[in-house]
Amino acid sequence: MAYYHWASHPVKLKGMRYAQSGHPKPNGLWFDVDGSWKRWCEAARFRLQGLRYRHIVTVLDASRVLFLGKAEQIDLFTQRYGHNLSGHIQPLQSPEEIDAFARRYGRDLLSDILEQFSRYIQWSEVAKKYAGIIIKPYFTKRSRNHLWYYGWNCSGGCIWDTSIIRLGRPRRMDGPRPLETGK
């Protein structure tokens, strides 16, 4: 198993701790497992310029990394670190408009949104115990159930305390070029 950080330019690792904010995904140095991010980007034609350089990521202290390797572990992690933020969401529509939408489209979109925000990960709490997280394999079905996991897209990880990793020399990669935009 290999961990790769992809970038549009060579990266030099700085020893630092990334502060966690209220975003669905953690802040830190992101990497994939066995080229899964590269494959996902190529299939989706997403940020191909960010695949120019590959850096091998070596985890120096695996005891400080949370490894999630089963779908059930994703669920348990979400239960443990997920917080209900749905009370902070205020609908712009009246209850009648929300009901009309649900009847017309067969689903209550507001309830779906509230449910997703009822399991919002507080990454600052995770960072108190761990220096990073690695998820392998990627569980597509869980991305439909957990907002924080939706944008993960592939097997990979994020390290927010970079003192536990080493970043290899950048290797220029050949491959698809970004689509030209007509100017």
Tokens of 176: 């698809």
Each residue's pLDDT tens digit, 23-78: 889 999 999 999 999 999 999 999 999 999 999 999 999 999 999 999 999 999 99
What is the C-alpha separation between 135 and 3, in angstroms, rounded?
A: 11
Reference 161, options 18, 3, 14; nearest CA is 18
Q: Is residue 137 part of a domain?
A: yes
Please give the tally of structural domains in the chain.
1
Q: Is residue 180 part of a domain?
A: no
Q: Is residue 182 part of a domain?
A: no
Strand partners, 30: 158
- Whole-prediction pTM: 0.81
Q: Is residue 33 part of a domain?
A: yes
Q: Is residue 181 part of a domain?
A: no
Q: Is residue 183 part of a domain?
A: no
Q: Is residue 8 part of a domain?
A: yes
* Domain range for 50: 3-172
